Structure 1
Amino acid sequence: MSARSDRYAAWSGLLGGALGVVAGIVQAAAGTQLGAWAGSKSNPLPLGLLTIGLSGLALAAALVQLRAIRPPSTGHRAAVAATELVAGLVCFSTVGRLWWAPGALLLSAAAAEISAAPAGVARAVRGAWPAVLTGILGACLMLVAATADTPLPLVLGLAAGLAVAAAPWIAGRSVPVAAGVLLLGALPCAAITWWSAITPLTAVLALVTGTVAIRRRTRPVDTDR
């Protein structure tokens, strides 16, 4: 990928993330007044907060990419693309039409990252698929939590989903901390939703894939560019 294309991917992700944060703020503050433009949600505040969180992660990933001095490795490209894809896809269900522009930008940025080195990104994803899957499951847990009607399940669910998604990426620094974060994220989700079927199953699956991801993250990573 040329330097010009790299800049396009970074700026597209940066703009998409920034617009996504704005869309989340609008949803949280005035979602009930915007009707279909905000997805006609009955409880827009938690969905807006979730949108802000995911957009913020995508924004941070794009900012790191933009400030990088050297061309990113395929592993780094895969991580950025995964962050943008998760935010870009999940938030189509949180803020309605407000997400059309930021969603398109984030998906475009992810596509540019993947097209830069498709074979290398595929290898990186193949080696880190448990971490990617755990991140997706964490985002799903946050999306479920955003539909809660009371503050406590909402806050616990969002925090737990974020912990699940982040745990595999902490393992490179500290395996015990990563394992603790994963447990603190997955177990409360399963406990507070014991009466349902899908959410506890998702939490248990995240615990399994997260454990595999943490074990894999302790091995040497591929730095192929």
Structure 2
Amino acid sequence: MFYTKIKNKNSFILKNNTNNSSAEFYLVAQPIVQPKSRNVIAIEVLTNLISSSNGTIHAEDFFSDISNEFIKSLIMIQIEELNNIKVAINSKNIVASINIPFDLLSDIEFIRLIINKSQVKVALEVTNFKNSTLMTDNIKKSVSIIKEHGFELWLDDFTSEDIPSNALYLLKWDRVKIDKTFIYRHINNHSLISDLLNYVSNFSFNSIVFEGIESDYQNDQISKFNCLCQGYLYSRPLRLSHMVL
């Protein structure tokens, strides 16, 4: 193993066994809801960075430049912690989404490990394409394995500059998440929202999740459409260990 996990009372440390670098963090989750009822349909598991040995505290900078081995270790910690609250998750049929870079789907052995270890239903939320959307044979095999076992594949941050436009066409996604900038710019343009829903439905089994909902007005407008929502209006990210669903 490249990394050793150290569990503190309220956090984790991943220590690199090769160069002795480390990062301390804790896990949080944010609900994904049906906007009319505000019932929780899914949760997204996120990571809050506390510190790192290289002095980088800005989480976006840190996570944009970490190795796949670190990400794999982090994902397995997320799976372990989700299993600890499996009764609450499974009793309400909630899906737990976990972020994964596109190229890591090529690691068939790791995908099998996620499936074998997970005791809750997981959605792999695909992001970070690194300018490549090539569907290799290994990625196709991983997609097949994921689908066969009833897990889901979501496309993250569609409509943002970080996601290649052709990422939508790669496969039939279970859900597509729309970047929060879309809502900021177009919440009152119902025709455009409807067109987006119709367009994305060609590539998604279960339509879309609008990110960045922060006001009752936004919720009221978006609840006119068949979609899910995520944002600070419903809840800020809460520590996963304290999550009450």
The TM tier, using the shorter chain, reads under 0.3
* TM-score, structure 1 as length reference: 0.26
Normalized per residue, the structure richer in strand is: 2
Normalized per residue, the structure richer in helix is: 1
